Amino acid sequence: MASHGAGRVMSRSAAFKTLDKADIAANLVDKRITLMGSDVDEAPMAYKDIHTVMAAQNDLVEVLAKFEPRIVRMADAREKPED
């Protein structure tokens, strides 16, 4: 069984302290990703590199396809989770 995601490389508080919203926006434009919701703590830079993570699991999984999202919807920073 493979991990369900890359995992964080940066805590949420560290992301807020160190990441720049303009850099994040430029990264999303470069990758042609439309982001709805979210905040700095969920930026791609706050997570481990998925290619490195998958390479570490190559004896567990066979990669059949690569998914590149174009639209991502996440909760807004002030939005409360549903019960």
Active site residues: 4
Q: Cα-flanking dihedrals φ and ψ of residue 28, to 5°?
A: -65, -40
How far is residue 18's CA from residue 4's CA, in Å, rounded to a whole number?
Answer: 26
User: Measured between alpha carbons, how far apart are the two ends of the chain, in Å?
Assistant: 29
